[in-house]
Structure 1
Amino acid sequence: MKNLLMTGVALAALATFTAQAQDTSSGTQTSTGEWTGSGEVGFASTTGNSRSQNVNAKLTLNQETDRWKNSFFLDALRSKGQVTVVDAQGNSEKQFDTTANRYDFGASAGYKLDPRSYIVTAGRYDHDDFAAYRWQGTVSIGYGYMALKTDRTQLSFEIGPGYTEYQPATGTQTVNGVEVPLKEPRQSQVVARGLVNYKYRITDNTAFDETFLMESGTKNTYLQNDAGLAVSMTKKFAIKIGFQVRHNSNVLPGIRRTDTLTTTNLVYNL
């Protein structure tokens, strides 16, 4: 079923690019129908008394025509640092090991009913070796509405049903005073998906954006909020500060519900 969910996300991505091809062949593509977006990358490294490496990268693409409103994203995070490892005899030593390893991607294709309303299909897949869930995959269909769109401000909403499958991370439980691993099989549930996108251009070279995602079911509710402030240096390059919060309402014992990520990235506008 995991492969089926990843296939669904891939099909959603394919649908966005197919939509552009259809508009071009029918002659209805507008002057704003080209794909636009940005790529981000951040890297940090320390040596000496402490040693660490951190790299994160993001790619976002958007396209809008008279008929379609489409998007695609890809994120990756990997970190290594000094960690203390205790062996079976109680001896501890420091090792340079992976402390974060995450990637996620997704796409949506929206068919416009009128200039503000659209029907949207969306899919996303998230893999994280150090989060509450090793992987999560969601496909959905819903209704979208562009509540506000001016030269400086954009605000849109999406809501609809979906299906999620996920693999809980290994937790811990105490048996006879000893902590032992606690594992659960992969889970699935029907969810209500909601998405809010907000963008505001503060000045000619400063912009704020925020995206809130909710996937709520009877077993677990997943919440993600991404906020970013970008300051342009040229037409193509900018510096962006980002803050991400991920929250799962239901996790195994020994695992935290909330993860955060703060980034400072160099942005290239496509």
Structure 2
Amino acid sequence: MRRLFFAATALAAALPAHAEWTGKSEAGLVFASGNTNTETANARINMKYETDKWKNTVGGAALYASDENGKTANRWQTFGELGWKFTERNFLFGAGRYEEDEFSGFEYQTTLSGGVGRRFMDRPNTTMVGTVGAGYKFFETRSSFDPVTGELIEAGRSDSEVVFRGTLDFEHKLTATTSITNKFITESGSDNTFMQNDISLQVKMTDVLALAVGYGVRHNSSPPPEFKKTDTLTTINLVYDIK
């Protein structure tokens, strides 16, 4: 969580004063004590700067959870995309993503990519934007051990591969105060395919504050032995519009 806070602070300090950046930040906390002691925290920030020719986005996310036995989740990621519009609906992009996840089987995953995108729908209440491209992924896997004997099953390794990258972002306003968003990304290579889908229902309470209920699914097709392929996350967050 501290890494995401420091990264967001540094990003805000580096933004040009004249640039009209807008975005959203959200966070949620859960603490339980008594028969069980648990702590859960998640935070996200997404910033966007758009002109007639450019659409640039940067952001980050973090997740932490623990119980009586120790940490059960510890993940953070940063991402950014630079887009140049060559027609009203079509654009070229360059993107980067970095993440560390202590419980995914990967020490880190870094992807640099580029390609083309299109704004398929651009209505007052509905937008849908997709991209396709290719890039290069660098990653390091964690060592896996037998849960009974503790013997090493597979040693961690560093590797890289060419990947196909695709995204699809959808947003629809159900009412003046309620909206639904869905963000999908996939990075597919010969060694592993990473997919993530996040859907969120947001209800505005004021001009800048909203309550959001979200559900996310993350999938790695080939994690190291003893690590699960799929993780899910349900969140209830307070959202703040940055205008």
After TM superposition, the score normalised by the length of structure 2 is 0.89
2:3 is matched with which residue?
Answer: none
2:90 is matched with which residue?
Answer: 117
Partner AA of 1:200 in structure 2: H
1:54-73 correspondence to structure 2 within 5 Å: 54-73=40-59
Q: What root-mean-square deviation, in Å, do the aligned CA atoms of Structure 1 and Structure 2 show?
A: 2.1
1:145 maps to which of 118, 122, 132: 118
Residues 178, 81 of structure 1: alpha-carbon distance in 2 compared, 3 angstrom cutoff: closer
For 2:105 and 2:182, locate their aligned partners in 1 and report how far apart those are by CA, in whole Å.
Answer: 23
For 1:178 and 1:78, locate their aligned partners in 2 and report how far apart those are by CA, in whole Å.
Answer: 28
Unaligned runs of 5+ in 2: 1-6
Counterpart of 2:68 in 1: which secondary structure? strand
1:28 is matched with which residue?
Answer: none
1:193 is matched with which residue?
Answer: 165
- CA deviations 1:207-244 (Å, max 9, x no partner) are 11011101001111111111111000111110001111
1:10-89 correspondence to structure 2 within 5 Å: 34-83=20-69
2:224 aligned with 1:224, yes or no? no
- CA deviations 1:166-214 (Å, max 9, x no partner) are 111222359xx94522223112100010011101111100011011101
Q: Kindly tell me the number of residue pairs found equivalent between the two proteins.
A: 231
2:84 aligned with 1:98, yes or no? no
For 1:178 and 1:261, locate their aligned partners in 2 and report how far apart those are by CA, in whole Å.
Answer: 31
Residues 44, 140 of structure 1: alpha-carbon distance in 2 compared, 3 angstrom cutoff: same
Kept in 1, the 8 Å contact 2:112–2:135? The answer is yes
Structure with bigger gyration radius: 1
For 2:144 and 2:227, locate their aligned partners in 1 and report how far apart those are by CA, in whole Å.
Answer: 6
After TM superposition, the score normalised by the length of structure 1 is 0.81
Greater mean alpha carbon deviation, residues 127-136 or residues 140-149:
127-136
2:236 aligned with 1:264, yes or no? yes
For 1:201 and 1:101, locate their aligned partners in 2 and report how far apart those are by CA, in whole Å.
Answer: 33
Moved over 3 A (4+): none
Kept in 1, the 8 Å contact 2:142–2:157? The answer is no
For 2:146 and 2:137, locate their aligned partners in 1 and report how far apart those are by CA, in whole Å.
Answer: 26
Kept in 1, the 8 Å contact 2:165–2:185? The answer is yes
For 2:150 and 2:33, locate their aligned partners in 1 and report how far apart those are by CA, in whole Å.
Answer: 34
For 2:74 and 2:150, locate their aligned partners in 1 and report how far apart those are by CA, in whole Å.
Answer: 25
